[in-house]
Amino acid sequence: MYFIIANPAAQSGQNDNRIIKKLEAALEAAHKPYFTCFSARPGYIRNFIKQFGQKEEVTLVAVGGDGTINGVVNAIEDFSKVKFAFLPIGSSNDLARGLGIKDIQKDPSQDDNIQKITEGKILRQMDLGELTYDDTGAKRRFAVSAGVGFDAAVCYEVNRSKFKNFFNSFNQGRLSYGTIALRELATIPKVQAKVTLDNGESIKMNKLIFAACMNTAYEGGGF
């Protein structure tokens, strides 16, 4: 059973329906059942896995960008019950870049990725990062990175910016990250910080702009 999780806002809505229809057509031609959901709400995804995961193998296919992928991996409670795939049609697509998968900017048709997902023959394992909040003990997974400071500010501003829609209109959404990054570099304050390592060693920094834990080699549209 294929469960397609689509983000209508990915690439500012430029390519989502076209890609989804191609994926659905490929699954129909291969006689593989599927269900499409235009929502990445974690509760909905968890309920779906619980409903179908006990009966048959479930393949979750995220159609969107890194934000959509992040929502999906945080909704999965038991990875032994599901396979995860994605079509990278977002603005940054850093997970795809880190894994060597062609995103919509390099392969607008996504035909090759759709074929691989439909065939389901290529499987690989990867690590996920996990962030624990000290104040609540709550945990959150990340597939690309987790950061504070400059990189977090850029991602926040990109999601609110009109630049994103403009660059997405011609499949260059990552340029919105570069444009806003230059602005943030000129204005972001430097702060004092202390990093405590697992062995108890502390590192003090007087002029910190940002700190990031990276699970893959890129963030913010290829940086």
From 115, 116, 94, select the one nearest 105 (Cα to Cα).
94
Range 48-67 average pLDDT? 80
* Residue 117 DSSP code: H
**Residues 169, 14 contacting (CB under 8 angstroms):** yes
Those residues whose C-beta lies under 8 Å from the C-beta of residue 39, and which sit 6 or more positions away, are 5
Residue 99 pLDDT greater than 90, yes or no? yes
Two tokens, residue 106? 């390099």
pLDDT of residue 91: 80
Tens digits of per-residue pLDDT, 104-126?
889 999 999 999 999 999 999 99
Domains of the chain: 2-119 (3.40.50.10330), 129-214 (no CATH)
Are the beta carbons of 129 and 142 closer than 8 angstroms?
A: yes
Residue 14 pLDDT grade (very low, low, confident, very high; cuts 50, 70, 90): low
Residue 101 exposed, middle or buried by CB count within 10 Å (0-12, 13-18, 19+): middle
Give the H or E element holding residue 214: strand 210-214
Instruction: Residue 165: name the closest of 18, 9, 7 by CA.
Output: 9
**Mean pLDDT of all residues in 131-143:** 92
Burial of residue 10 (CB within 10 Å: 0-12, 13-18, 19+) is buried
